[in-house]
Amino acid sequence: MTSADMDYLTIALPKGKLFAPSVDLLSKIGVSANDVHEKSRKLVISNEEKKVRFIITKTGDLPTYVEYGAADIGIIGKDVLLEESKDVYELLDLKFGLCRLMVAVPQALKKDKISDYAHMRVATKYPNVAERFFREMGIQMEIIKLNGSIELAPMVGLAEIIVDIVETGRTLKENQLLEIAQIHKATARFIANRVSMKMKFDRIHGIVEDLKCLLESEDKQ
Amino acid sequence: MKKNVFVPQIPYGTRDFLPYEANQKRVIESSLAQLFARWGYDEIVTPTFEYLETLAVGVDNDVLPNMFKFFDKNNRTLALRSDMTTPLARVAATRLRETETPLRLFYLTNVFRYEQAQAGRQCEFYQAGVELMGVPGPSADAEMVALAVEAMLDTGLQDFQISLGQVEFIHGIMDEHDLTPQQGWDIKQCMLRRDLVGLEEMLAKSGLTKAGQNILKQIPLLHGREDMLEKTYHLVNNPVSKAALDNLAEIYSLLKSYGVDKYVNFDLGIMRDLDYYTGMVFEGYTPGLGFPLCGGGRYDNLVASFGVQCPATGFALGIERVLLAMERQGIAVACAAKNIYIGWDGESLPEAIKQAAELRNAGKSVELSLLPQSKEEALASQQRKGYDELLYIAGCK
C-alpha cells in the first residue's frame, strides 16, 4: 500500500509540462529518487533511504489520487484543481507553469459584452470551470467537452466559443481567436491529502517550509 | 452484446452488503452498541424521513441541496435524514424535555446525503454515534473524545489519531481583526476548502495588519501537542481565542486521566463543515484511508433552535470507513462462528431435526441439510460452507 505506510511519503507528479520543473524543484530540497523521469516504465519509484515514493499520473487524475490518499502529496496546476474540485489541501503556490484560463472567440464573432454570447456553444477541456464562469455571469451556454485541440472547434463550426488555458496567446493569434475574458490565473500548486496532512504533518510541513524558502531565495536572485 | 437481458440496477450511491460484509458490519455494530451501553448511553431510533423544515433547523444552507427530498400526500416536503444530530436535537427539545439531564443517547443507523460517493461513503451510509446533552464544559467534551478513542479501539483499529480543534479559537481571531462580513465569509470558505493559497491571496488584499494576516494564515497549520497550545496562547490577544485554548487544555488534562492522551493531538485548523458547532471539534484519522473515520464536537445552540436551551456534544463514526480501514490494514473482523453442519441419509431427517434443535438450544450455530446426502457429500458441504464440524446421521428408521 502507499499512504497506509506511515514511514513513507508518496508523491504524485503529473505527466506533461509540469513534470520536469516539479522533479527539479523537489530535488533541490532533497526530495528525489533515481530514475524519476516521465517515460519511466516503473509505476512506483521508491527511494528506500529517504523513505519517499513517486507515482506519475495523468494530470486530470492527480487530484483524485491525492484526495483518496493513494498519494500523500502532489504537484498540479491550479486549472486542474479548479476543474476537478477535489477535497485536498492546497498548500503552496509554486509559481511555475504560469498560464491563464480564459474565454476566446473568433475575431469575427466578437460582441460588446459577455451576456451577448448567451446560449452559444462553448468547446472546452474544462466543462466545470466553464459552466461555473458563465453561471456566475448569469448566462446559460451549451458546453461541449473536448479532450484537446480546442482551437479547432470554432474553425469547423463545432462551437462558437472556447474556454481553454493559454500561456503566451500565440496559438490564439495564429487561429484568429480573441481573448474576451480571463477566468483565472493558474500556476503549479503543492497539494496534500487531508488525512496525510494530519498524520504526516511534520514531514509535509517540513517540505512546504523548504519549498517556501527555496522559492523566496530564487525570487531574490 | 446480448439483447434483452434484464440486469436490474441499484441507484447511484447505494450498495448491497452481501453476507460476508453484512456479518462484519453486524459484528462491529453489536460491539459498539455494547460499548456505548457500558458508558451509560441509551439507544434511540428516530424516523428515517422527517419534514424538510425540521431537518433544516440550525443547519447551514449547504446541507439542504444534498438531502433526498420528496412529498407526502399533502404536498409537504419530506427529506431523508442526512445526519442524526438534528433529529436527536429535536427529540431532546420535545419528547425528552422533561427528562433529567444529562441525556446520553446512542444510535446505529443509516443516513443519506446526495453527494459524490467517496471512499467508504456512498449516498446511503451507516453511522454509529452518541450525543451527550445538557452539560456544558470540558467534562462532557472529554467524555466524547475518550469514548471515540474507545470506539476505535473496540473495532480493532490500533493505529489512529484524534485531532482536537476549537471553532471559537478561529472566531475569536476573526472578530479581533476588522473584517467586513464578506471578507470574513471568504476567509472561512478558503479555510473550509483547505485552500491556503487562496487564503494568502485574500489576506494580502484585505488591508489587515501584517500581524493579523500572519495569524490568520497560520490557523490551518497550527498542529501539534501541548507545547503548540502553549506557543499559540502567546500569539493571540483576544479573550475568546484564549478561552478556547484553555478549554482545550482542560479537556486534554481529563483525557490524560482517561488514559487516552497518546491518541490525541491538536489541530486548530479543524473546521467541521457543519455550521452548528460552537466549541471543541474533533476528527479521527487512520493511515491508508484518505478521509476522516469519525468526527464530532460541541453544538450548544442547535437544541435551542428547537426552543429549549440545552448545551450538547457528540460524535459519529462511519461504519463503512471503519470496515475499509480494517481491510486495508489487514485486521480481521471476528466473524460469527459456524459450528456444525448436519448431513443425513435415508429416513434420518426427523432424528436430524431433533439433534439440530438440541444443538441450537445449546447455543451452537447449526445448518441442517434439506436433502439426503452421502457421508462424502456431507463432508464436502461442511467444508465448502465453512462449518467447524460435521454431524452425520444415517440408518434411522
For the stretch A127-159, pLDDT in tens is 999 999 999 999 999 999 999 899 999 999 999
Nearest CA to B244 among B274, B215, B197, B278?
B278
- DSSP alpha helix (H) spans, chain A: 19-28, 62-67, 78-84, 127-136, 152-155, 170-174, 196-199, 201-220
Chain B residues with beta carbon closer than 8 angstroms to that of A195: 285-287, 289-292
pLDDT, one tens digit per residue, over B240-255 is 999 999 999 999 999 9
With contact defined as beta carbons under 8 Å apart, do B289 and B328 qualify?
Answer: yes
pLDDT band at A4 (very low <50, low <70, confident <90, very high): low
Q: Is the pLDDT of residue A104 over 50?
A: yes
Which CATH number is correct for A9-97+187-220, 3.40.190.10, 3.40.50.11610, 3.40.50.1370, 3.40.50.880? 3.40.190.10
**Residues of chain B found within 8 Å of residue A189, distances taken between Cβ atoms:** 197
**Contact (CB<8Å) A205/B223:** yes
| 8 Å CB contact of A4 and B287 | yes
Give the per-residue pLDDT at A114: 85
CB contact under 8 A, A201 and B223: yes
Q: Which residues pair with B71 in a beta bridge?
A: B77
Residue B230 has pLDDT above 70, yes or no: yes
Q: What is the pLDDT of residue B2?
A: 64
* Pairwise CA distance, residues A134 & A149, whole Å: 21
Mean pLDDT (whole number) for A28-38: 83
Asked whether the predicted pLDDT for residue B94 surpasses 60, the reply is yes
User: Taking 60 as the threshold, does the pLDDT of residue B1 lie above it?
Assistant: no
Q: Is A198 on the interface with B (CB under 8 A)?
A: yes
CB contact under 8 A, B290 and A67: yes
Residue to mutate among B159, B196, B294, B329, with most A CBs inside 10 A, is B196
Report the relative pairing of strands A188-192 and A89-93 from DSSP bridges: antiparallel
Tell me the β-bridge partners of B97. Answer: none
pLDDT tier for residue A1 given thresholds of 50, 70 and 90: very low
Q: Mean pLDDT over residues B98-121, rounded?
A: 88
Q: Which CATH number does the domain A99-185 belong to among 3.40.430.10, 3.10.20.30, 3.40.50.300, 3.40.190.10?
A: 3.40.190.10
d(CA B175, CA B172): 5
| Two domains, one topology: A9-97+187-220 and A99-185 | yes
* Domain residue spans of chain A: 9-97+187-220, 99-185
Q: Across chain A, what does the average pLDDT equal? A: 91
For chain A, the first-to-last Cα distance in angstroms comes to 41
Question: CB distance from A6 to chain B under 8 Å?
Answer: yes
Please check the confidence at residue B51 and state whether its pLDDT lies above 90.
Answer: yes
A 65-104 → B contacts, CB under 8 A: 66-70, 78, 87-93
Return phi, psi of residue B124, to 5°.
Answer: -105, 125
Decide if A6 and B159 are in contact by the 8 Å CB cutoff: yes
